[in-house]
Amino acid sequence: MYQYLKGWLMMITTIALDLDNTLLNSAKEISEENERVLKQLHKMGKRIVLCTGRPIQGIQKLLTQLELFEPTDYAITFNGGLIQHNQTQRILAQTTISKHEVAALYQDAQKRHYPIDVIGADQVYSLITLGKSAYESTMGAVLPFTDVSFDDLPVDQTFGKAVCAAPAEVVQRVRKEMPAELNDLLHIVPSRAELLEFLPNNVNKARGLTQLMAHFGETLDNAMTFGDEENDFEMIAQAGIGVAMGNAIPQIKQVAKAETLTNNEDGVAAYLKQYFNL
């Protein structure tokens, strides 16, 4: 599908989708209509890319449902920090944090009393001396969790990210009072009201998508993105067509080029059917 934008002809080759409250409804499911439309576009040759803060192990069910296991099918995980081939899980690009960055975060968490979980390649480390968070209750079926002290966190390993899973008011306070040195060291962004993510500096979904598009000799101008939350901001603002969900926060709607229905109204399918004349 071609569209004239700012005086030149653009082709959308790639549809990149946030998951929670975007592609997924309130039951954390891909609706039948969203599934039908995305499968139709995939068969027409469009790349369908899931962009999420979760590790790839956490989206296998969704990749299977959408049948995204062709040679050109990749996923962007850890909010842009990791790009992997869906079928082989071969890494195309990766940016990580080390125990050094986690140490600075841990010191702040000790002072201000909030929980931290550190996500590695194949497991999650709960820094138990800070108190057990709710993260395992939501992610425990995806990756194994290990309760460790900070000293026992592996020093010879890198990590995709750290998270603070806590009630919304705690997450809001933690972020509002974050020391400047940590804001300079890490990219700190909420992915939902109850989850604050600590990513490698300069990592975001737009950066990951840019790396993936470059792999195919293309740019973000060839991408259509869907999102609702602050961690989607860059990919909505920078894509050729950034689409805000009807339930998106105001900051996302302000930078989007289009808006669709909510995630519970099959907003993804509704916009795609209109744009691609399905």
| Domain identity same for 211 and 166 | no
| Domain identity same for 9 and 67 | yes
| Domain identity same for 47 and 167 | no
| More confidently predicted of 39 and 7 | 39
Residue pLDDT, tens place only, 197-223: 999 999 999 999 999 999 999 999 999
| Domain identity same for 73 and 17 | yes
Residue pLDDT, tens place only, 57-107: 889 999 999 999 999 999 999 999 999 999 999 999 999 999 999 999 999
**Structural domains in the chain (count):** 2
| Domain identity same for 170 and 254 | no
Write down the H helix ranges in the chain.
Answer: 32-43, 60-66, 99-112, 135-139, 168-176, 180-185, 205-215, 233-238, 250-255, 267-275
pTM of the predicted structure, to 2 decimals: 0.90
CATH code of residue 71:
3.40.50.1000
| Domain identity same for 90 and 124 | no
Residue that terminates a domain, selected from 173, 200, 227: 200
| Domain identity same for 138 and 194 | yes
Domain that holds residue 143: 99-200
